[in-house]
Structure 1
Amino acid sequence: MSRTARQGSRLLRHPAWGMAVGALCVSASAVLLGLARTDPGTASFYRCVLALPALMVLAVPERRRQGPPSGGQYGLALLAGAAFAWDMLLWTQAIAEVGAGLSTVLVNVQVVLVPLLAWAIDRESVPRSFLLWVPVILLGVVLTGGVVEGGASGSDPRAGTLHAVLAAVCYSVFLFLLRRDGHSGLVRQRYVLVIACAAVVSLFAGRFAYGLDLTPGWKVMGWLLAVAVSSQVVGWLLVASASPLLSSHVGAVLLLLTPVGAVALGAVVLGERPTLLQLVGCVLILVSAYCAALREIRPRHRPDRGADVGAPGPEGTAD
């Protein structure tokens, strides 16, 4: 077993930590894409293609032990990959329009949508306290997008807000399917299918709508390779492995570590300067989501210290 695989296995004995580390790894992608300065289609295509060799190597031991996925698992993985591709395309477009850190915050309206999808489709219970915070979270999204004032870091905050919210819908579908299909096992093989499908969709969408440069230059390729490693190989693989072991709203809240890291990195690395109201919006999103889920997180971690935290519990169904 490789060193990366061993470290991932240790993290997944504590799925909340695995999700948190994965989210922080993903947070770097917004800033790295800002440094790459390339078309959304080029970025989305190459961040998937460059990750595939490493992901296929990681999936080989799983295939030898457990065999290939079933037909149904293939279908869900391909659908998740298509949703992920559109999320990346729309979100990368939004980075230039509303800024790297803030576009990441906007797309994290998933903290509302993923639990609602789990409730509507899988009948997973959603805490009432969480639903009470939904209006506050949405207010935070409006403030963060710079709709109230014109001081966003990007070139077009209103268009960026629209693109980021559309990305959030695709992102939420992707997260829901990734978690839902994860209960059946074969996480690494299915994740390879997700990324391969996302690469194909990004190739065609980039060619006809979002721009695609198959020879972007070594500098751009270097930044995209960094995105592929930090986000696709490490970050999202940890999220794919940890999310089935957590309830939908707890996983969604832990993914809010992504905008926290992105806002900090955007300010330090790219020199982005969000306005006061935008910072208030960020705080509203993060604090309200944390408070909404706090009551649900505490019972899961405190009483079970003597239990095997690596084993799937009731988190995958209702609370």
Structure 2
Amino acid sequence: MDVVDATSTPPVTTADDNERTPRHGTAAPVVLVISGAACLSASAMFVKLADVTAGTAAFLRCALALAVLVPLLVHEVRRKGRLARPLQGYAVVAGIFLGVDYVMWTMSILDVGAAVATVLINVQVIAFPLLARIIDGTAISRRFLFTIPVMLAGIALSSGALEHGEGDGNPVRGAVLGVAAGIAYAAYLYLNRVSGERSPAHVVTPICISTGAAAVAAGVISLFTTGISLSMSPMSWGWVIALALLGQVVAWLLISTGSPKLAPNTSAALLLLQPVMAIGFGLIILRETPTAGQLVGCVVVIAAVWFSNRRPSPSSTSGS
């Protein structure tokens, strides 16, 4: 058995190292996160087709997801044991942030419109890596920092926020709620990542616990804001169930599996593809026609995400 010197100092990881060294081989995790983002991107379409209130959608997407997640949790616990108690606490707090995010974001739509709200919530691309930097000391590559303004500009274009205004409520309140939703989203992503890094064998358990906490948080907030209505048509129930299964269960299981194996800035950037893919779903399924500006924004986002995560070729780094 090899003996590890407990007094040895671990190597310091710099931003350049983070840029050049893949984490555990990034191809498969990248595919998982992108697939999860694709599932999340279909959520807006499901909510629109269900034609329900924001509070109803936020609460039911979590509550109904538990019908699938709880049996999966029981199976995982039997095979791999219980998740450590501290990580269970992290999952509860993460779920509260997620529930708050769902409600605040949908409320911000009423004030500033879906386009601007989409831009505001994507402050997660800054907040998520920043949390990892402040709490864990995880390096953020210079390439990513330089690309952030381009990413956000692309999101603004693709959402249509620069072309037209929606929302007829309080723009200041909507802006505050949108940014707060983005920060809450980043906190959920960070805490979810912590569980994945410290206990990679447990994938379902933290998602199930956080989904339950999100259902409670969204339910309580919605009762005092938008309300929750369970009187829906069979068609609406069908779309809400699809939202719960694809937009909650499948999406977060995929992201939770892939994200811990990637740098925080990489995960945050890949999740920016969500609104871009939402436009694709709208075009194909809802027959919505994006404007030229939105298409340009999609190209900008995709190019910026690719550039920010591109690995330098060996020849370009051999002389450094």
TM-score of Structure 1 vs Structure 2, range by shorter chain: 0.7 to 0.9
3-state SS in 2 of match to 1:56? helix
Q: 1:110 aligned to 120, 124, 130, which one?
A: 124
3-state SS of 2:198 partner: coil
Does 2:75 align with 1:61? Answer: yes
Query: Are the structure 2 counterparts of residues 57 and 236 from structure 1 closer, same or farther at C-alpha, using a change threshold of 3 Å?
Result: same
Equivalent in the alignment of 1:215: 231
1:17 aligns with 2:25: no
- Residue aligning to 1:125: 139
- Residue 266 of structure 2 is aligned to residue 250 of structure 1: yes
Q: CA deviation at 1:275?
A: 4.2
Greater displacement, 176-185 / 130-139: 130-139
1:81 to 95, 108, 120: 95
Task: Give me the identity figure in percent.
Answer: 38
Kept after mapping to 1: 8 A contact 2:94/2:210? yes
Matches within 5 A, 1:81-230: 81-94=95-108, 98-99=113-114, 103-104=117-118, 106-143=120-157, 148-149=162-163, 151-152=164-165, 154-156=166-168, 159=171, 163-185=177-199, 186-230=202-246
Q: Contact 2:155–2:275 at 8 Å: present in 1 too?
A: no
| Match 2:85 to one of 60, 71, 84 | 71
Asked if the contact 1:80–1:178 (Cα under 8 Å) also holds between the matched residues in 2, the reply is yes
Moved more, 84-93 or 281-290: 281-290
Distance 1:157 1:21, change over 3 A: farther
Could you tell which deviates more after superposition, 44-53 or 16-25? 16-25
Tell me which amino acid in the other structure corresponds to 2:59: F
Quick check: 1:98–1:161 contact (8 Å CA) kept in 2?
no
Q: What TM-score, normalized by structure 2, do the two folds share? A: 0.78
Specify every segment of 5 or more residues in structure 2 that has no aligned partner in the other structure, as ranges: 1-25, 315-320
Corresponding residue number in structure 1 for 2:51? 37
Q: Is the 8 A contact 2:104 2:180 kept in 1?
A: yes
C-alpha deviations, 1:264-311, integer Å up to 9, x for none? 112343454554445444443442233122127x89xxxxxxxxxxxx
1:35 match: secondary structure = helix
Aligned length: 284
Q: CA deviation at 1:161?
A: 5.8
Judge which range, 85-94 or 116-125, deviates more: 85-94
Contact 2:109-2:167 at 8 Å conserved across structures: no
Instruction: Determine the structure 2 residue equivalent to 1:265.
Output: 281
Distance 1:42 1:35, change over 3 A: same
Native 8 Å contact 1:25 1:230 kept in 2: yes
3-state DSSP of counterpart to 2:310? helix
Distance 1:283 1:133 in 2: 14
Aligned equivalents of 1:172 and 1:276: distance in 2? 30
TM-score by length of 1: 0.79
1:289 aligns with 2:288: no
Q: Is the CA contact (8 Å cut-off) linking 1:52 and 1:196 kept in structure 2?
A: yes
